[in-house]
């Protein structure tokens, strides 16, 4: 049995308490490694190391920090298959998905912010011959990055890369449910020659290691991605400490399909946007609204396509649906399917566990599930399920679908399918959402602002938004003469 280690001050170290937590492979339901059960002692040691490394790291030139991040990205890139296999084993997602999406995106995150810092400028404000103001953007110090289990290395590196590029040092915690690729990242950082203490990775429970990070007064900012309830707790701890805070939280995203859409493209993309990564992407469309004139046709075609999806061993190249991330999460998803039935929903396909006949016989698999006949205000349509479950609902007008789409407490992402350009713009303007995709889904340009409105978060990541977040602006005013 492998014992993972924390990465502190450039070295792999055991947790100070000597305690570990079981790490499961969701596709088999078996424990396959042990994760450090870190506490405030380990976090404090990471903070000391980050504090010691800060001065020299922030004083490197942008080009030197660029070079370090590029070295890290190259080493991950050389080992895409090793990382993808680890991500798939830890999370349950198909190996092919991790190989095509998760790990290449982690590589891109490091490359993107390595080059972004080389091209970043700051503002100046001229006062008509009297004076000039210029803005210095300075790193904050040691910062905390906390990420979830659904896109483990992808989201972990999305925070770490801009924090490091701007000259901060980092204390990062991956989800205790999917720690393995963060552990591989520590090894890569050592091999890449990243200076000791610049990045520190502490493993462990949210309520223990995570809590010690948010409570620590020497950590200057918290960048968090995870559930809305956890985000609310973190905000309540961090706000009185006046730390900078970025929150990327839950979603209940609408997918709005008008009769005039490019039907084939919409259908293919909707299968993906509903069930990619077993529906465990914060951007998945889980409420599908379909214009009534094509509702019956869509229902027939969608059910036919989804019931043919290959489910099972994530290692199999043909697998489209792997295991959901854990037993408690599987039970939560199944309980929502039962709730949907009591709320009057009709399961059109799926609705139950799937039991493969191979090494994955005891894994956590749920058949992709489509439910119809629910009121848009019922709990199934209002609460985040975060699994392979979608609802379909007909609509008759733009006003009606806007009302239904905007009815939840969330506002992360939305897809709109129409060939009518006027309608597309109008809908995009009125939808309560941080991200709108028209005639596509998950088409990402890393320069764009990323984040949600309402209970889906506070602040934005991506492009210069993350560079701004991880720096403090200081205005300098010089009077002439």
Beta pairing, strands 131-139 & 124-127? antiparallel
Assess 150 for contact with ligand NAD (CB under 6 A).
yes
Dist. CA 398–CA 258, nearest whole Å? 9
Assess 148 for contact with ligand NAD (CB under 6 A).
yes
- Binding segment for ligand NAD (CB under 6 A), chosen from 106-114, 203-211, 301-309, 353-361, is 203-211
Assess 179 for contact with ligand NAD (CB under 6 A).
no
The verdict on whether 248 is a catalytic residue reads yes
According to CB under 6 A, which one of 24, 110, 149, 417 is a site residue for ligand NAD?
A: 149
Nearer to ligand NAD, 339 or 442 (CB): 442
> Residue 155's closest CA among 166, 168, 145?
145
Task: Render 65-97 in DSSP notation, one character per residue.
Answer: HHHHHHHHHHHHHHTHHHHHHHHHHHH---HHH
Nearer to ligand NAD, 415 or 418 (CB): 415
Rounded to whole angstroms, what are the CA distances from 393 to 345, 372, 377, 450? 11, 6, 12, 27
Beta pairing, strands 169-173 & 389-395? unpaired
Assess 332 for contact with ligand NAD (CB under 6 A).
no
Assess 85 for contact with ligand NAD (CB under 6 A).
no
Catalytic-labelled residue, pool 87, 176, 211, 248: 248
**Paired tokens of 145:** 């990055």
Assess 226 for contact with ligand NAD (CB under 6 A).
yes
> Residue 392's closest CA among 249, 271, 308?
271
Assess 363 for contact with ligand NAD (CB under 6 A).
no
According to CB under 6 A, which one of 146, 163, 170, 221 is a site residue for ligand NAD?
A: 146
CB of 209 to ligand NAD, least distance (A): 7
Dist. CA 266–CA 204, nearest whole Å? 41
Assess 291 for contact with ligand NAD (CB under 6 A).
no
Catalytic-labelled residue, pool 282, 284, 360, 414: 282
Dist. CA 196–CA 209, nearest whole Å? 21
Assess 435 for contact with ligand NAD (CB under 6 A).
no
Nearer to ligand NAD, 141 or 204 (CB): 204
Dist. CA 328–CA 322, nearest whole Å? 16
Residues that bind ligand NAD (CB under 6 A): 146-150, 155, 173, 175-176, 206-207, 210-211, 214, 225-227, 230, 233-234, 248-251, 282, 384, 386, 412, 452, 456-457
């Amino acid at each position: 049995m492998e014992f993972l280690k924390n990465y502190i001050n450039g070295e792999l170290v055991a947790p100070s308490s000597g305690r570990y937590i079981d790490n499961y492979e969701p596709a088999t339901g078996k424990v396959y490694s042990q994760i450090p059960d870190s506490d405030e002692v380990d976090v404090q040691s990471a903070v000391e190391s980050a504090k010691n490394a800060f001065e020299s790291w922030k004083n490197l030139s942008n080009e030197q920090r660029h070079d370090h991040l590029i070295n890290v990205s190259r080493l991950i890139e050389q080992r895409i298959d090793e990382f993808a296999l680890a991500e798939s084993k830890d999370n349950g997602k198909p190996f092919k998905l991790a190989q095509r999406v998760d790990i290449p995106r982690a590589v891109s995150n490091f490359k993107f912010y390595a080059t972004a810092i080389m091209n970043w400028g700051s503002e100046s404000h001229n006062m008509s011959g009297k004076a000039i103001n210029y803005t210095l953007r300075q790193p904050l110090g040691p910062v905390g990055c906390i990420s979830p289990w659904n896109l483990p290395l992808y989201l972990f590196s999305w925070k770490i890369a801009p924090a490091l590029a701007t000259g901060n040092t980092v204390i990062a915690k991956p989800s205790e449910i999917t720690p393995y690729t963060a552990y591989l990242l520590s090894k890569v950082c050592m091999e890449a020659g990243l200076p000791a203490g610049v990045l520190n990775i502490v493993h462990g429970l949210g309520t223990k290691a995570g809590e010690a990070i948010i409570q620590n007064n020497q950590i200057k900012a918290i960048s968090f991605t995870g559930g809305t309830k956890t985000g609310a707790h973190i905000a309540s701890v961090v706000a009185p400490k006046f730390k900078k805070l970025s929150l990327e939280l839950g979603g209940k995203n609408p997918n709005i399909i008008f009769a005039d859409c490019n039907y084939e493209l919409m259908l293919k993309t909707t299968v993906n946007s509903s069930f990619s990564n077993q529906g465990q992407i914060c951007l998945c469309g889980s409420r599908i609204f379909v214009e009534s004139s094509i509702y019956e046709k869509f229902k027939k075609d969608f059910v036919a396509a989804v019931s043919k999806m290959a489910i099972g061993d994530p290692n199999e190249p043909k697998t489209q649906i792997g295991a959901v991330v854990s037993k408690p999460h599987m039970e939560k998803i199944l309980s929502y399917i039962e709730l949907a039935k009591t709320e009057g929903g009709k399961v059109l396909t799926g609705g139950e566990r799937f039991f493969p006949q191979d090494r994955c016989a005891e894994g956590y698999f749920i058949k992709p599930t489509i439910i119809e006949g629910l009121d848009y205000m019922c709990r199934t349509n209002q609460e985040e399920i975060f699994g392979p479950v979608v609802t379909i609902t007909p609509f008759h007008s733009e006003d009606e679908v806007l009302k239904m789409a905007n009815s939840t407490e969330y506002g992360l992402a939305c897809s709109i399918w129409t060939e009518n350009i006027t309608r597309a713009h109008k809908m995009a303007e009125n939808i309560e959402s941080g991200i709108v995709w028209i005639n596509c889904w998950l088409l990402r340009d890393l320069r764009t602002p990323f984040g949600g409105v309402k209970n889906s978060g506070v602040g934005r990541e991506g492009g210069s938004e993350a560079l701004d977040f991880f720096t403090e602006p200081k205005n300098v005013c010089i009077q002439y003469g």
